[in-house]
Structure 1
Amino acid sequence: MDTAEPNTPKFRRRAEARPDEVLDAALDLFIEQGFAQTKVEQIARKAGLSKGAVYLYFPSKMAILEGLVARAIGPITGQVFSALSAYKGDPRPIIGQFMRMMAKAMTDPKTRAVPLLVLHEAPGAPEIAAMFRRAVLDHSVPALRALIAQGVEGGHIRAVDPDLTIRTIMGPFLGHLLMSDLFGIEPEGGIALDQLVENHLSILFAGLAPEGAS
């Protein structure tokens, strides 16, 4: 019988784990039945908590989805985007680091499910699109734009449009996830995100090389 008092380390570890338990339960339900159709009561029941306990950690269902986004994307944005805007030099090594980190993170099915869920739900729920833009795109797009623009200005890469180049960088990665997870079309070797990224970077970096570079 567990006789741990509320102030014991075991109790604290259990309390600290509860937000993740809520997020895991919510992700399963959002995938299974959709964001709009999922109720907080269902999330609480699946997580083994009361509805009131869920609201202690997340004040709304949208806050739960935002928590899922932060858990999935946070490790990437926290390590990379804070340094992008101030970087000076050839942007290709930084782009490579960013893409490889994304590939590593997205090998976890729970992490990969979050952006796919947002892509699925956002067209019918503008508030979800707005939340993802605030949480991710409003930070990542300006940082990547600044990185590419300074690379052009410094002569490290050819004269490209920074905004279009951001789409060129991210497009194949997103397309690969959509084809694999949404449509079930995978290369013979499986989803292999690391191989996709290396293949993409070899083509991308050749295209970004300055005019006349060997």
Structure 2
Amino acid sequence: MASTAPRQRRKDARPQELLDAALALIVEKGFAATRSEEVAARAGVAKGTLYRYYPSKDELFKAMVRENLSMHIAESAAQAAQYQGPIAGLLQQMMQAWWAKVGHGNAGVVCKIMMIEARNFPELAKFYVDEVINPSKRLIGGLIERGIASGEFRAVPIEATVHLLIAPMLHMLLHEHSFGEHDICHETMTAEELLDAQMALLLHGLLADSSRT
């Protein structure tokens, strides 16, 4: 069987090279200041080649979101649909897995960029809400509903509980890709330890058993 020609391998790799170049430039300069021709130059291709894959800078950013975030949400939803067992354990596993996949690296950077740029680019913000925020809320909310229906959880306000689960993740993500990058804020615990503490607090509360009414 003949091996793939170098030219074909290079062509197949171009979309990822363009996404990597775009992300690096956006981190350096911000979304608004990054120009398409700069992305093409950073990736070592002509501007026409960039437009062949991504017709606009908005489409380039959307591709970054789909690759780094949407894919992970879809994988988590598929795993949750097949899961049989206590929902509390699944939630804890998902929170740790989400941090491992998204908290570090490119996915976390994309999240931070969107939080910074959302006000200035409402169309991209709407895309992000539809592609990332709403599917994440549906996934977590659906698991809470399953826990309530099975009697594992008491009847809690689902939307508020979803926010309580997501908020610490966003806090850690912003810290990781802001203060953490400069090594100026030294935490004595890991993100994984914080997630474990969050889940224990959410599942068991602050009150001791003897104090419950």
TM-score by length of 1: 0.83
Matches within 5 A, 1:24-103: 24-84=20-80, 90-103=86-99
Tell which deviates more after alignment, 116-125 or 198-207.
Answer: 198-207
Tell me the CA shift for residue 70 of structure 1: 1.5
Matches within 5 A, 1:144-155: 144-155=140-151
2:55 is aligned with what amino acid? P
Residue aligning to 1:15:
11
Tell me the CA shift for residue 187 of structure 1: 4.2
Tell me the CA shift for residue 87 of structure 1: 5.9
Tell me the CA shift for residue 86 of structure 1: 7.4
Question: Which residue of 156, 159, 176 corresponds with 1:163?
Answer: 159
Q: Flag the 1:16–1:194 CA change in 2: closer, same or farther, 3 A.
A: farther
CA distance in 1, matches of 2:37, 2:71: 29
CA contact (8 A) 2:40 2:46 kept: yes
Q: Flag the 1:53–1:204 CA change in 2: closer, same or farther, 3 A.
A: same
Which consecutive residues of structure 2, in runs of 5 or more, have no partner in the other structure? Answer: none
Which consecutive residues of structure 1, in runs of 5 or more, have no partner in the other structure? Answer: 1-6
Q: Flag the 1:193–1:75 CA change in 2: closer, same or farther, 3 A.
A: farther
CA contact (8 A) 2:76 2:94 kept: yes
CA distance in 2, matches of 1:45, 1:189: 42
2:203 is aligned with what amino acid? F
CA distance in 1, matches of 2:167, 2:141: 15
Tell me the CA shift for residue 182 of structure 1: 2.9
CA contact (8 A) 1:118 1:129 kept: yes
CA contact (8 A) 2:21 2:43 kept: yes
Secondary structure at the residue paired with 1:38?
coil
Secondary structure at the residue paired with 2:119?
helix
Residue aligning to 1:4:
none
TM-score by length of 2: 0.83
Tell which deviates more after alignment, 154-163 or 86-95.
Answer: 86-95
Question: Which residue of 100, 105, 110 corresponds with 2:101?
Answer: 105
CA contact (8 A) 2:103 2:176 kept: no
Residue aligning to 2:202:
204
1:33 is aligned with what amino acid? K
CA distance in 2, matches of 1:124, 1:167: 24
Deviations 1:113-168 (A, max 9, x none): 11011111112221121111121123222222222122112211122111111100
Q: Flag the 1:87–1:147 CA change in 2: closer, same or farther, 3 A.
A: farther
Instruction: Give the paired residue count.
Output: 203
CA RMSD of aligned residues (A): 2.6
CA distance in 2, matches of 1:93, 1:57: 41
2:37 is aligned with what amino acid? E
Residue aligning to 1:3:
none
Matches within 5 A, 1:113-132: 113-132=109-128
CA distance in 1, matches of 2:126, 2:97: 25
CA contact (8 A) 1:22 1:44 kept: yes
Tell me the CA shift for residue 103 of structure 1: 1.4
Identity %: 30
2:195 is aligned with what amino acid? V
